Amino acid sequence: MSDYGETVHLPLLSPTYLVTNPEDIRHILVVNPRNFHKAGGLVISKEVFGAGLVTSEAPLHSRQRRVMQPMFHRSSIARLASQMATTVSSRVSSWRTGQVVDLSLEMMDLTLVIASAALFSVDTETTARDLGAAFTTAQRLITRRQRKVPLPLWLPTPTNRRYKEAVARIDRLISGIIESRRKRSHQPQDLLTMLLEARFENDAAMSDQQLRDEISTMLFAGHETVSNHLTWTWYLLSRNPDIEARLVREWSSVLAGSPPALEQVSALTYTEMVLAESLRLLPPVWTLHRRAVERDQLPSGLSLHPGDELLISQYVSHRNSLYFADPETFRPERWTSDFKQSLPAGVYFPFSLGPRSCIGDNFARLEAVVLLTTIGQRFKVSLVEKDASKEALLTLRPRGGMRVTLQRR
């Protein structure tokens, strides 16, 4: 960052700028967000996410967010802690000392099962791996299409065929969820019920296409980010045994071997620091892409024209040495209350900022605590390979998975 300045003009087909000035980031995401529409991979991926909450623009985005917001209030997600812990405990009950597992794949399966049950009251235990694989295939092909001039999907190229097959697998599962719910006489109080019961102008229900787009978006976002966050956290802990030892001592003191009850979460202060630092160094959502709609000027002085594109990278901003001393070092102790309050908006934003910030941030934070503590009290996780390369898709993932050896504590 210090070598290239706060704004970098990237040599791409359309005027594109990497923006790192915190005030500029705040302007784009918080002050004038309606002038900056989504761009990049999320727009290319319309076959997967359609006009779901992550990709849609106002006024549709605002309308859909109002419908779904009650599901993600703290009071609503509070009841999910014990359900999450039960799912995790059941999943790891078959793990054994000395066993080698792909932790990335295990976390993907586990978080998808939790998201499906919590948001849609669906058991995906037997289908999670297939669905997760379809989302992964789609991500890789979306990223490939983003880096090249994409060929029309009607052309029967191998890439297009694989992409369409992945989308079809996702669609089949979502259609099954919707059809099964409509046959039920009792409607559980979950996100799917909120979507089905929503009424708009002239008492119109949500269209089937919009319903499908929101379910796909929430299934993806509800498992992909948390699973990568946890996988990277285990990676960092395995490389920093002193930090892991302090974490285990906190769990022993506060939890005494049990999964965390909701009222205990606030007492896990060092756990919160570890998770915050993991999100700083290896944020699952590692970049945001926007396109200017009208002329604008950023606080740093950059003049923007309609069509100009902006990249905002959490991976880069979270390493700003003006705000993070020794930025490449995993140091959870930095996350004191005073330190958090000292950070300007636009410096640390793992869940984005403003009206487009992640609707499920409270859900994700709770899930990360429950999974980390429930698994971590039972097993020590050790890397098979001491390093992991990064795969920059829509999310930041470990390339080729992450093989670890399990050791019961």
Give the strand pairing for 396-398 and 390-392.
Answer: antiparallel
Is the preceding peptide bond at 327 cis, omega within 30 degrees of 0? no
Order the strands of the 16-19 sheet from edge to edge.
7-10, 16-19, 309-312, 288-292, 36-38
List alpha helices for 93-184, DSSP H: 103-120, 128-147, 158-182
Distance of CA 93 to the CA centre of its chain: 26
In order along its 409 residues, the chain shows pLDDT tens digits of: 556 678 999 887 789 999 999 999 999 999 999 999 998 877 778 889 999 999 999 999 999 999 999 999 888 887 888 889 999 999 899 999 999 999 999 999 999 999 999 999 998 888 888 899 999 999 988 888 777 767 778 888 888 899 899 999 999 999 999 999 998 888 898 999 999 999 988 888 999 999 999 999 999 998 999 999 999 999 999 999 999 999 999 999 999 999 898 889 999 999 999 999 999 999 999 999 999 999 999 999 999 999 999 999 999 999 999 999 999 999 999 999 999 999 999 999 999 999 999 999 999 999 999 999 999 999 999 999 888 999 999 999 999 999 999 999 8
Instruction: Please state, in angstroms and rounded to a whole number, the distance separating the CA atoms of residues 344 and 20.
Output: 13
Instruction: For residue 201, count CB atoms less than 10 angstroms from its CB and return exposed for 0-12, middle for 13-18, buried for 19 or more.
Output: exposed
Provide the pLDDT for residue 100: 96
DSSP state of 275: H
**Kind and range of the H or E element at 100?**
strand 100-102
What is the model's pTM? 0.94
Q: How many CA atoms within 13 Å lie on the side-chain side of 209? A: 4
99's tokens? 């066993």
- As given in the structure block, the two tokens for residue 129 are 């791996």
pLDDT, position 141: 87
Q: Are 351 and 364 in contact (CB under 8 A)?
A: yes
Which pLDDT does position 160 carry in this prediction? 86
Q: Which two tokens stand for residue 304?
A: 């923007």
In angstroms, the CA 110 to CA 129 distance is 9
Nearest 10 degrees: Cα torsion 346, 351, 353, 358: 170
Q: Nearest to residue 56, comparing CAs of 206, 272, 170, 232?
A: 206
> Two tokens at 408?
């019961």
